[in-house]
Chain A
Amino acid sequence: DVKVTQSSRYLVKRTGEKVFLECVQDMDHENMFWYRQDPGLGLRLIYFSYDVKMKEKGDIPEGYSVSREKKERFSLILESASTNQTSMYLCASTTGLLYGYTFGSGTRLTVV
């Protein structure tokens, strides 16, 4: 089975800190995604990557950046964390057009 691993289950950071959320998949998938999930707003796409060093903005990229230096790893970066970035962050990967998505277990980020 494909495994998507998010490095932290819970994080607490201070306002203004630079925050890195890491995601690793073990099945050589070319596509990787970062979503955030908030009550009442559902899952919203932040960024995705379709190859090493390739990225595209999703629906809510403001305040975030991403890095994909190796195929298996996709990092989400909060340049200067703010309290409105407190959320559940979910990473996913997939390959090809006809395959399903596999999600990680999520990172609950609290910015204080």
Chain B
Amino acid sequence: KQEVTQIPAALSVPEGENLVLNCSFTDSAIYNLQWFRQDPGKGLTSLLLIQSSQREQTSGRLNASLDKSSGRSTLYIAASQPGDSATYLCAVRNTGRRALTFGSGTRLQVQP
């Protein structure tokens, strides 16, 4: 059974810092991995989708990498801003399975 772990569970940084969020998964037989953002009391907003054949994806100040063989992904946020404060979730889609398996998230606070 796939298990997804996110470290750290919470992170507080001053504005302007570059930061890395980590996601690891136990079963490397995946179609893709998706990073989401969730604001308090709200739904999930998709940030980046990486296919199993890709190494990284970029969107603005966000860059996500994937190392399928080692079961790891990172989300890099450049020049963090207070508006980046949210919970970040990673989720994987395993081969032969329609539903996503989620990590428990990293709660990020960016201090002005």
Q: Which residues of A contact B (CB under 8 A)?
A: 6, 31, 33, 42-43, 45, 48, 50, 56, 58, 88, 90, 92, 97-106, 108
Does more than half of chain A's interface fall in helix, strand or loop, or is it mixed?
strand
B49 touches A100 (CB 8 A): yes
If the complex has contacts A42-B103, A43-B102, A58-B99, are A106 and B43 also in contact, measured as CB distance less than 8 A? yes
Query: A98: which of B42, B46, B51, B104 is its contact (CB, 8 Å)?
Result: B51
If the complex has contacts A33-B99, A50-B98, are A105 and B34 also in contact, measured as CB distance less than 8 A? no
B83 at interface, CB cutoff 8 A: no
Does more than half of chain B's interface fall in helix, strand or loop, or is it mixed?
strand
If the complex has contacts A42-B105, A100-B32, A100-B34, are A90 and B100 also in contact, measured as CB distance less than 8 A? no
